[in-house]
Amino acid sequence: MGMSSTGGGGVKATPNVTPMIDVMLVLLIIFMVVTPALLAGFNAVPPQGQNLKDHPEDAENDQVLGIDRDGNYYLNKKPISKEAIEKEIKRIYEIRTVDKVMYLKADKDLDYSKVVDATDMASKNGVRVVGLISDQKSGTVSTVVGDSHAPGAPQAPAAPAAPAPGGTP
């Protein structure tokens, strides 16, 4: 018969990680719910048109003033009060010497007077050109030459086909 030389009745000093895991899971769920709302910016359904040329937004150079269905203003997807818009636009466009273009994205159900007010605010504070953003009508295809969605426009090269299962002969 063998006897153990180590003492088996001592106190173990291991942390209880179950409460920590519970807290981490709750935080994970909270962030999973909140993050998409933060990244969405604002909800506005712009008017639709046909033969629209693609214009990818350049976060560094393009300034986009948005107005949602309720008349709330957003500058580059960040909420801004109507009183602060003019000062912020003036601050941005006083620095610029060449590109004084601002894009306006407004909900299609918004009163047109709000769109006119926004273009007036922009033009009074250093913006020379206001471009309105709209969406392509569903079911239509752009016929603008050079548009990536136009028929016959050069498309990105397709990915190479996957090899057949079992390898090559």
Domains of the chain, residue spans: 48-136
Q: What is the pLDDT of residue 29?
A: 92
**CA distances from residue 94 to 86, 116, 119, 156 in whole angstroms, order as listed:** 12, 22, 17, 39
Q: What is the pLDDT of residue 59?
A: 64
Q: What is the pLDDT of residue 21?
A: 92
| Token pair in block for residue 121 | 């605010």
Q: What is the pLDDT of residue 11?
A: 81
Asked whether the beta carbons of 111 and 137 are under 8 A apart, the reply is: no
- 130 forms bridges with which residues in the sheet? 102
- CA–CA separation, 126 and 85 (whole Å): 12
Q: What is the pLDDT of residue 27?
A: 94
Q: What is the pLDDT of residue 25?
A: 95
Residue ranges of the chain with per-residue pLDDT less than 50: 150, 153-164, 167-169
Fold that domain 48-136 belongs to in CATH: Nucleotidyltransferase; domain 5 (3.30.420)
Q: Among 100, 153, 157, which residue's Cα sits nearest to residue 124? A: 100
